[in-house]
Amino acid sequence: MASRKGRTPRGGAAATTARAPRRSRSILIVLLAVLGASIAGWRLLYRTSAAPPNLLLITIDTLRADRVGAYGAGSGRTPALDALAARGVRFEETQTAVPLTGPSHATILTGTYPPTHGVRGNVVFTLADTHPTLATLLKRRGYHTAAFVGAYPVAAAFGFGQGFETFDEEFHETSPVDQGAERRANEVADAAGRWLAAAPTDAPFFAWLHFYDPHAPYSPPSPYREQFAGQPYEGEVAFTDAQIGRVLDALRAAGRDANTVVMALADHGEGLGDHGEATHAVLTYQSTMRVPFIVAGPGVPASRTIKTRVATIDVLPTALGLLGYEADRSLLGRDLRPLINGREVAGDPFYQESLFGRLNCHWATLRGWVKDDWKLMTGAEPELYNLAEDPGELRNLAASQPDRVKRMTEELQRGMQRLAPGGDRAQPRPASAEQEERLRSLGYTAGSGGSGPLDDPSLPDPRTHVELYDRLQAATVAQGVALPAAFEDVQRITRLDPNNPFAFGTLASMAYRHGSLRVAADAFARALELDPDRPGVRQNYGKLLRELERYDDSERELRLAVAQSDDDSRTRISLAETLAAARKDSEAEQLVDAVLAKEPKQPEALAVKGRLLLAHGRATDAVPYFEKAAVASDPESFIVLARAYLAAGDVARARDAAGEALRRSPAHPWAMAVLGTALVREGQRAAGLDYLERAFAAGPRRPMVWEALAEGFDAANEPARAAACRKQAAAVSLSRP
Ligand SMILES: [Zn+2]
């Protein structure tokens, strides 16, 4: 099993034992013991001379243990994982440390708990390079290292790329609201399969594959969509399993399966309604904390199930052990090889946490301690469960076992001193507007916690408030006809939970989409009052204030956002845009030129540059900037281009550019206003007026769109209509909070 060469001595040993039955029993036992020792000796000899095994680490996002066939979900759903368990070892009870993608993966890759590695949330926390990871440790030992990841929270930008020679993270847009934050399992498997087929054989490899598909929203592709109709989560799991099967096939095809240790586990599970939690991140019940964990390959016996409780911090020491290396002894995680080989190990207590509620919603921090079969949750009202007798955590024993609660609480506090000797602090890095947007597309937020201590039991209990989080998430993805009801629900939630910055942030972006700019401005202000260190949110607030023509307020917010973010060019450009609108041209020009010197193709900077030239009456010089700034993903960049053409007197091009914007965003009132104006000026008065009236009827929410309409009616010689538009523009911009 260890290597191809290793089989020879075992074959020889079998031939020798065949002669044994003629001897006495005691001699047989001695002989077997000697033979056993010699086999072990042979193995050791061959192991040291043969190439060390490869390591294939597969993490499946959001995969609940009890949805895997080998864990009792029934056959046919996860054949690849079940087959892996059949040729290896399956850990029945594995605890994750934290029910959130970034922090949990940081624990898996470093073998340390979140208070130690410091990754407490997605995106706004970065894994520092002072923490050795499986990748850095194995690269140092000569391994080829490669990662193929499925979603933004484990992007290289957040420290997950360290130690990897290849880090494949080609996320892209999968839907109109998606900002390129994830990719499908088949694409991850394709990329990994290509790499495995061509991976150099001069040294062993470490490959990490991350599959994101079981994460909400659940939308399995065909035929899983039909096969699992009404059970889309299970469909995503089955689809992901099929892709894992393809990767394992590719490994076999490359002839490298016999010498590859495969480890498959989840970063966390999914609530699926248990304890009132639809998804994950907020609560720390077993539906999200118990994960599947399967190990197979050289040195691992087949078909063994291990009941002893283990944890994801054990992954790194165990992986190193199976490859023939020893992990740093200061790590709390254990090398699980004794369990794998049928022996016992000392039971260890495990730490767990969720800071998600605290950092994003101003709810209490949840911390937990799992010892043997007992699990304590503290932070708010304590809960105590016996996981062996009550795996569903339905009977809270805290009131009936106060001594155990006290003892375990003290152990947890002592444990915390070890994990974070200087006291536990969560120190996020501020998220940019783009990062906020990408996170929102995945249903997350990037809260920094605002003021106050990390542990404050007087804050709202996440367990009674989790349904609000689920409702906010549902509202965030609501579209079309569902939008008004979702908008109303978010307004209700801000009244129920008036200190929740996530709720106000969600309200702000929904109100903006809904066209209620005044509600949006109020919500932004409240969200930032509760959690001031959010430059991404502040940038959006500054943009909204500019659209409301509140230039002084916009300038103040954007200056603050620039100060809060490290050198984010989009924030600087947004400030430049406000300064340009307020006719503070020279500073605006300086900011824009500085950004363009570094990033000559930055579309927002090009557009502001064009706008400044336009303001100085240099329309012809401005046009090339707007042409370069027009990007497919942003219909409004074609509208400003059309306006520049109009200013430069190129009416035909203006018509085409406005038409382009309208094709990308049908019924966009600003696009209709500019297209109508172009048509009128081209001599197609009736067609042009038709567009202008349609834009008027749409009831634009932004003053600048009314002003554009007024210009159109002026061009059509309709002064009364133009005056009506100017009146609307003034009314909208004066609707101040
Ligand atoms: Zn995850």
Q: Cα of 114 to ligand 1 centre, how many Å?
A: 15
d(CA 310, CA 323): 19
- Over residues 667-695, the pLDDT tens digits come to 899 999 999 999 999 999 999 999 999 99
518, part of any domain: no
Q: Cα of 321 to ligand 1 centre, how many Å?
A: 26
As a whole number, mean pLDDT of residues 367-387 equals 96
Q: Cα of 320 to ligand 1 centre, how many Å?
A: 24
Q: What are phi and psi of 329, to 5 degrees?
A: -70, -15
d(CA 469, CA 502): 9
Let me know whether 37 and 78 are in one domain: no
pLDDT at 177 over 50: no
Q: Cα of 340 to ligand 1 centre, how many Å?
A: 26
As a whole number, mean pLDDT of residues 414-441 equals 81
pLDDT band at 404 (very low <50, low <70, confident <90, very high): very high
The pLDDT score that the predictor gives to residue 4 is: 32
Let me know whether 36 and 88 are in one domain: no
Q: Cα of 368 to ligand 1 centre, how many Å?
A: 19
How many residues comprise the chain? 737
pLDDT at 174 over 60: no
Contacts of 160 (CB under 8 A, 6+ apart): 102, 105, 106, 109, 127, 147, 149, 154, 167
Q: Cα of 443 to ligand 1 centre, how many Å?
A: 12
The pLDDT score that the predictor gives to residue 175 is: 42
- Over residues 318-363, the pLDDT tens digits come to 999 999 999 998 899 999 999 999 999 888 899 999 999 999 999 9
Q: Cα of 149 to ligand 1 centre, how many Å?
A: 12
Q: Cα of 62 to ligand 1 centre, how many Å?
A: 5
d(CA 528, CA 515): 20
The pLDDT score that the predictor gives to residue 285 is: 98
Q: Cα of 353 to ligand 1 centre, how many Å?
A: 14
Beta bridge partners of residue 146, listed in sequence order: 166, 207
- Over residues 447-470, the pLDDT tens digits come to 777 778 899 999 999 999 999 998
Q: Cα of 267 to ligand 1 centre, how many Å?
A: 5
Q: Cis check for the bond before 223: say yes or no (omega within 30 of 0).
A: yes
The CATH number for 94's domain is 3.40.720.10
Q: Cα of 107 to ligand 1 centre, how many Å?
A: 12
Q: Cα of 281 to ligand 1 centre, how many Å?
A: 9
Q: Cα of 269 to ligand 1 centre, how many Å?
A: 8
Beta bridge partners of residue 353, listed in sequence order: 367
As a whole number, mean pLDDT of residues 557-583 equals 90
Provide the mean pLDDT of the chain.
88
SS3 letters for 488-553?
HHHHHHHHHCCCCHHHHHHHHHHHHHHCCHHHHHHHHHHHHHHCCCCHHHHHHHHHHHHHCCCHHH
117, part of any domain: yes
Q: Cα of 101 to ligand 1 centre, how many Å?
A: 3
Q: Cα of 61 to ligand 1 centre, how many Å?
A: 4
Let me know whether 136 and 34 are in one domain: no
pLDDT band at 29 (very low <50, low <70, confident <90, very high): very low
| H/E segment holding residue 207 | strand 205-211
Q: Cα of 102 to ligand 1 centre, how many Å?
A: 7
Which of the listed residues 301, 321, 346 is the one where a domain comes to its end? Answer: 346
Which of the listed residues 304, 331, 346 is the one where a domain comes to its end? Answer: 346
Q: Cα of 562 to ligand 1 centre, how many Å?
A: 31
Contact 310, 108 (CB under 8 A): no
pLDDT band at 13 (very low <50, low <70, confident <90, very high): very low
- Who wins on pLDDT, 138 or 46? 138
Q: Cis check for the bond before 600: say yes or no (omega within 30 of 0).
A: no
Let me know whether 43 and 159 are in one domain: no
Q: Cα of 369 to ligand 1 centre, how many Å?
A: 21
Largest Cα separation within the chain, whole Å, is 116
Q: Cα of 317 to ligand 1 centre, how many Å?
A: 22
Let me know whether 34 and 131 are in one domain: no
Q: Cα of 259 to ligand 1 centre, how many Å?
A: 29
Q: Where are the beta strands (DSSP E) in 304-390?
A: 304-306, 310-311, 350-354, 366-371, 374-378, 383-386
Q: Cα of 154 to ligand 1 centre, how many Å?
A: 9
List the structure tokens of 328. Answer: 């740093």
477, part of any domain: no
Q: Cα of 626 to ligand 1 centre, how many Å?
A: 40
Beta bridge partners of residue 57, listed in sequence order: 208, 263
Q: Cα of 270 to ligand 1 centre, how many Å?
A: 9
For 93-121, give one letter per residue: b (16+ CB within 10 A) or e. bbbbbbbbbbbbbbbbbbbbbbbbbbbbb
718, part of any domain: yes
Q: Cα of 280 to ligand 1 centre, how many Å?
A: 8
Q: Cα of 288 to ligand 1 centre, how many Å?
A: 10
List the structure tokens of 236. Answer: 């995503």
238, part of any domain: yes
The CATH number for 679's domain is 1.25.40.10
Let me know whether 21 and 125 are in one domain: no
Bridging pattern class, strands 304-306 and 88-95: parallel
Which of the listed residues 318, 346, 374 is the one where a domain comes to its end? Answer: 346
Bridging pattern class, strands 205-211 and 54-60: parallel
Let me know whether 28 and 174 are in one domain: no
- Domain ranges, residue 690: 630-737
Q: Cα of 356 to ligand 1 centre, how many Å?
A: 13
Q: What letter would DSSP give residue 69? A: G
For 29, 470, 586, the CA distances from 624, given in Å and listed in that order, are 89, 46, 21
646, part of any domain: yes
pLDDT at 30 over 90: no
- Who wins on pLDDT, 19 or 46? 46
pLDDT band at 632 (very low <50, low <70, confident <90, very high): confident
The pLDDT score that the predictor gives to residue 444 is: 66
Q: Cα of 458 to ligand 1 centre, how many Å?
A: 29
263, part of any domain: yes
Bridging pattern class, strands 88-95 and 290-296: antiparallel
Cα 687-690-693 angle, rounded to 5 deg: 155
Q: Cα of 100 to ligand 1 centre, how many Å?
A: 5
Q: Cα of 608 to ligand 1 centre, how many Å?
A: 39
What does the DSSP assignment read for 541-593?
Answer: HHHHHHHTT-HHHHHHHHHHHHHHSSS-HHHHHHHHHHHHHTT-HHHHHHHHH
d(CA 683, CA 288): 64
CA 22 to chain centre: 65
Q: Cα of 158 to ligand 1 centre, how many Å?
A: 15
Q: Cα of 490 to ligand 1 centre, how many Å?
A: 25
Contact 84, 264 (CB under 8 A): yes
Q: Which position has the token pair 């694409």?
A: 187
Let me know whether 39 and 117 are in one domain: no
The pLDDT score that the predictor gives to residue 346 is: 82
Lowest mean pLDDT among 36-40, 85-89, 201-205: 36-40
Q: Cα of 96 to ligand 1 centre, how many Å?
A: 11
Q: Cα of 59 to ligand 1 centre, how many Å?
A: 9
As a whole number, mean pLDDT of residues 193-213 equals 94
Let me know whether 100 and 211 are in one domain: yes
- Helices marked H in 18-119 — which ranges? 25-49, 79-86, 101-110, 114-117
pLDDT at 3 over 80: no
Q: Cα of 358 to ligand 1 centre, how many Å?
A: 18
d(CA 40, CA 20): 20
d(CA 28, CA 20): 6
Q: How would you class 428 by CB atoms within 10 Å of its CB: exposed for 0-12, middle for 13-18, buried for 19 or more?
A: buried
As a whole number, mean pLDDT of residues 84-98 equals 98
Number of structural domains in the chain: 3
Residue 674: which of 716, 696, 646 has the closest Cα?
646
97, part of any domain: yes
As a whole number, mean pLDDT of residues 369-388 equals 96
Q: How would you class 326 by CB atoms within 10 Å of its CB: exposed for 0-12, middle for 13-18, buried for 19 or more?
A: exposed
The pLDDT score that the predictor gives to residue 515 is: 79
Q: Cα of 629 to ligand 1 centre, how many Å?
A: 36
Let me know whether 55 and 44 are in one domain: no
Bridging pattern class, strands 310-311 and 166-168: unpaired
pLDDT at 609 over 90: yes
The pLDDT score that the predictor gives to residue 534 is: 86
Q: Cα of 99 to ligand 1 centre, how many Å?
A: 7
Kindly report the pTM of this predicted structure.
Answer: 0.81
Q: Cα of 405 to ligand 1 centre, how many Å?
A: 30
Let me know whether 263 and 118 are in one domain: yes
Q: Cα of 58 to ligand 1 centre, how many Å?
A: 13
% of the chain exceeding 70 in pLDDT: 90
Q: Cα of 556 to ligand 1 centre, how many Å?
A: 37
The CB density around residue 407, as the number of other CB atoms within 10 Å, is 15
Let me know whether 313 and 187 are in one domain: yes
As a whole number, mean pLDDT of residues 377-388 equals 96
Contact 106, 116 (CB under 8 A): no
Q: Cα of 481 to ligand 1 centre, how many Å?
A: 30
d(CA 243, CA 211): 9
Q: Cα of 153 to ligand 1 centre, how many Å?
A: 8
